[in-house]
Structure 1
């Protein structure tokens, strides 16, 4: 589990690709402080397992599911990436609940500066947009952010100066692909209340069910 508070930006040292997977080596400092083999580190919001590390970089494997579902497949030598270690049980929870299991990718479609804030529009698919709400939480490339607007096929985020400086998002150009993880609490709520599954054959929460239970007048 992560918080979406980026600890540092690392630099891609090496990329070893196969047809549908890859291995990443990433230069970094802070996240290596207490790292052990098998630890989880979020790389641009994607939870990866440390396979090997030295005092200046770590190595992680990207399996086919992650390769095709995230923007990690587009990383090349020298790219900067957001890094965060899994949250300790006694750590501060400064962002929101982030699993590191990316829901999909988005595309930056607009960037505009307003005073000290950098606003960005990110286009995503409709099956993800239903989990996005105004003033709700969302994770973009591993950074916990607040949604400031939701439109037909996109949402708007705003980066404060410290986020512009300490994460990679502000330095990405229009058209760039980003990893998006929607709020896990919203996803669980939909699953429990509205979605049919093998364990629940009913229609979920409906207006008729609310009315029959006395919640509507």
Structure 2
């Protein structure tokens, strides 16, 4: 579990691709402090398992399903990536609950700055857009953001200067692909209201749970 608050921008070192398997070495300094093999780390919002640690880098291994569903397969040496270590029991939750299970990729349709603030417009598929609401949360390349605008084709988010400067969102341009994770709460609500095997929420079920009048 993560928060969507990026700890550090890392840089891709070596990329070894063998068919539907990829080994990715990432140079970093802050996140490797206390890191051990087997730990989870979010790389541009994708939960990965650390397999090796060096003095100034760590390595993760990515399998076919993640390569197909995320942008990790497009990374090359020199690319910058957002990094966040997994939550611990004593961590503060400053963003929102982020699983690191990317739902899919999306295209940036607009990237601009007005004064100190950044604005990103993102085109979303209907399958992802259905879970978005104004003022709701969304994760873009591992960054927890609030949805400021919503239309039939996508969303707009405002990015404060601190986040703009401390993440790779400032590198993104129109046409770039980004990793998207929608708020998991929306998925639970959808299942509860209509897609559960039990038939969804109803007056009868509410009464059975003690919420009847």
TM-score where L is the length of structure 1: 0.91
Give the Å deviation of 1:196. Answer: 3.9
Give the Å deviation of 1:177. Answer: 0.4
Against the structure 1 CA distance between its residues 94 and 213, is the aligned structure 2 distance closer, same or farther, given a 3 Å change threshold? closer
Q: How far apart, in 1, do the equivalents of 2:65 and 2:57 lie?
A: 24
Query: Structure 2: where are the runs of 5+ without partners?
Result: none
Q: How far apart, in 1, do the equivalents of 2:112 and 2:158 lie?
A: 9
Give the SS at the match of 2:187: helix
Q: How far apart, in 1, do the equivalents of 2:205 and 2:12 lie?
A: 57
Give the SS at the match of 1:165: helix
Against the structure 1 CA distance between its residues 210 and 117, is the aligned structure 2 distance closer, same or farther, given a 3 Å change threshold? farther
Give the Å deviation of 1:117. Answer: 1.1
Counterpart position of 2:190: 190
Q: How far apart, in 1, do the equivalents of 2:188 and 2:114 lie?
A: 35
Give the Å deviation of 1:65. Answer: 0.5
Against the structure 1 CA distance between its residues 151 and 13, is the aligned structure 2 distance closer, same or farther, given a 3 Å change threshold? same
Q: How far apart, in 1, do the equivalents of 2:109 and 2:51 lie?
A: 35
Q: How far apart, in 2, do the equivalents of 1:10 and 1:194 lie?
A: 42
Task: Give me the CA root mean square deviation.
Answer: 1.8
Counterpart position of 1:116: 116
Q: How far apart, in 2, do the equivalents of 1:30 and 1:150 lie?
A: 35
TM-score where L is the length of structure 2: 0.93
For residues 28-43 of structure 1, the aligned pairs below 5 Å read 28-43=28-43
Counterpart position of 1:7: 7
Give the Å deviation of 1:33. Answer: 0.4
**Alignment partner of 1:44 is 2:36:** no
Give the Å deviation of 1:172. Answer: 1.3
Give the Å deviation of 1:21. Answer: 2.2
The Cα offsets for residues 122-152 of structure 1, whole Å up to 9 and x where unpaired, read as 0111011000110000000000000001111
Give the Å deviation of 1:112. Answer: 2.3
Counterpart position of 1:96: 96
**Alignment partner of 1:157 is 2:157:** yes
For residues 39-78 of structure 1, the aligned pairs below 5 Å read 39-78=39-78
Counterpart position of 1:128: 128
Q: How far apart, in 2, do the equivalents of 1:121 and 1:131 lie?
A: 16
Give yes or no for contact 2:131–2:186 (8 Å, CA) kept in 1: yes
